[in-house]
Structure 1
Amino acid sequence: MSGLTLVDVCSGAGGLALGLEQAGFEPRLLLDDDEAAVTTLQTNRPQWNVLHTDLLDFDPAEHPVSHDVDLLSAGLPRVKSSATVGRADSQAEERLLEAAIYLVHAIRPRAVIIENVPGLAHSDEYQQFRDFARAELAHLGYEFSWLVLNAVDFGVPQNRRLGVLVAVERQRARAFQPPAPTVQEPMTVGVALEASMASRGWKDAARWTAQADRPAPTLVGGSRNRGGADLGPTGAKNTWATMGVDAHTVGDVIPGPDFDWNPELGRDGMVKITVEQAALLQGFPEAWEITGRKTARYRQVGQATPPPVGRALGRSLLAALNGGE
């Protein structure tokens, strides 16, 4: 253990916190406003101090354990898109982004990670937030980087681009280097799920594995206010179809020995990805249990920061925090 501590907000299913723990950070406090996500965190890490509350309602003065920590991390819900601009979901996300920066004022961590959609780092729709964050963080004595990372570069079997703000106290900032890719070749959906697909004796598991020969498209969790569980927009569904997967829904069970896989017949002949398999495609360990009803479970998975990305970011920050002057 490094002896370095973190507070993680909007923790969801725990992907970012888990990756940072794997890198050597000790989670001191986590919080989320979703009951199913809180249960997920408590189920998998009973020793973690998990608070069921909205970030907008969190008062660090009432939780002294959040003070004097090395890292504040926030994997904020990925709900912003051209279709949601101006809607309640988009406005809520903007408030959460600002709240995360204001929390830096209150607890003064040595470093900050905020993760969201890739546009966070460069798109015009986030320019106001970037200007706000720049002014606030520079005033507090941080230097920062805007990164766009792809989870597939860190061993996650999914093309998932993430926008990340990393801020480090000025005296330590020079030691920070963005994480370098940890794999040379991307992991495919087939390789990631082969053992799972074969676990109930499905006779076509090996044949399906050979066809699922690419990383997954970005998994989308969606909003708790809209829709059911599916694997993403039309383009993503079409990509899944080339792998013989029906992406219009999320499966309840892994195929058994009698399932006849014949994608030429359309959706009825395709296999469905379960929530547990979606978690594997996000880089969660197999033993990580996602709790709640199916749609709530899939939403937690789809909105999560892949743990291997959190681990890579954590290792880069460890080097800066331990090596900075």
Structure 2
Amino acid sequence: MKRSAALALAALALSTAGAAAQTSPYYDAWRDAELELGARYIYGQPSYKAKVKDFDGTPISRLGFTGIDSHSGEVFGRINHKRLDIFLRGSFGFGGYFGGKLRDDDFAPGLGTISSTNSKLSNTFVSDVTVDIGWTPVVLPGTGLRFGPFAGFLYRNDVFTARGVTCNPDDVGGALCGAPGTQPVAPSTKVIKNDVRWTLPRVGLEASMPITEDIGVRVEGSYLIPGLEGFRNEDSHYLRQSELGPVPNFVDTSTRASGFTLQGVIDYRIGERTSIGIGARRIVLDSGTAKAVAGAGLPADQQSPARAGGVFQTTQGFLQLKVSY
């Protein structure tokens, strides 16, 4: 009798525990979540252009890093909650820049361009991170269209290293550099490096919709918000350290940096959980007016006036592979 009662109590406890586990809010929350993991190969053509002013606002230099091909990889993940229509996502990318050149023009009041040079780029790379949270409810049930806002941040680090110097035509007959085509610095000698970092919060909108049972499209756009130290450039002139001090000779920052991103991707399902996709992305970042905050070449009383500003932009295409769980 006692044994039968004990067995009955044990069975009741197990059934109660099982029912409690199945109705647990924690269990239900994860049951309604979908995980996406994937990887992308990205090709782009970035450029970075900067203008440098003297402390009274007179333009003294203009830099342009152009003609670059970028190849990078990116891993990404996303959690979609089907019942609440919210998502959390993130990505990390790393790659290299190939080819390209730096054009460096220097000016003087009343003389125009006193020096113009080209240098080849080498040992250049890029890394970036994004994290976002958003809400995309179904707004047209008949079509499956989802649309809603998201917020997050973008971090990007571009490193441009230039070697060698080749003289271009200027307004002073080559008095400082030499005749056009002259190479006063060997092509293997490191002359300039710009280590450019962007850290910006962003807000945006995302829309997605199935086209067929196996094909879907997702587009998004975001605005990168100024206010924080969104831009930082460590500017190193390796051949002027006796004049400007150790590298980085200048460190410029800006709280006025802003920009925008656009992205679209078309997915094609090739299995129950697997899809491939093709997409495009546009990124434009503007430092606004940056200020020099450090550097051995700057007296302490000259570290606050506006000194520089830069614009980065790239158009990218990518291929992706995604798995859903």
TM-score by length of 1: 0.23
**Greater Rg over alpha carbons, structure:** 2
Work out which structure has the larger RCO, using CA pairs closer than 8 Å and 6 or more positions apart in sequence. 1
Higher helix share: 1
Which structure carries more strand by proportion?
2
